[in-house]
Amino acid sequence: MQEVIHAEGHENVSAEHVSTFEVTTDDFLTPAGDCILGIEADRAPADFDPEFVAACQHEEATITATFETENYSETVTGRGDPDLTFESDRSAVGRTSDYVDDRTILVGAEFAAEGFDRELVSALAEGAELTVTLTVERDE
């Protein structure tokens, strides 16, 4: 199962955060938002299909987030959690930790914003269009 989010880069994309990455529906980004990779997202977790959400609420679920611009692609994998609610109507956040709030889309990510390819980050800082594809798989 998949969910797709379309967003845009911004001149303040720095991708320096050590424990999270984020895409937001906000239309602005300050330098303090060092986990944010894309703004003006066309969807938020609250928009996701209930079946997708249910699949992500299993500890055995593997959730993959693929970030793509015209010339670059980066994939980060994490896992699901029974506490994931996908209720945020504003932001989608991936975490390296086990912390969960209404914005969390995956936990136990293999890396955070600081681990993203610097060429991808540069493209986003130049305003590149971003497609984020979330895929959930579960071992039965």
Tell me the pLDDT tens digit for each residue of 66-80: 999 999 999 999 999
In sign, the C-alpha dihedral spanning 30, 67, 129, 51 is: negative
Give the pTM. Answer: 0.96
Tell me the pLDDT tens digit for each residue of 78-135: 999 999 999 999 999 999 999 999 999 999 999 999 999 999 999 999 999 999 999 9
pLDDT of 47 strictly over 60: yes
CATH number given to 2-132: 2.60.120.630
Q: Distance (Å, rounded) from C-alpha 68 to C-alpha 25? A: 17
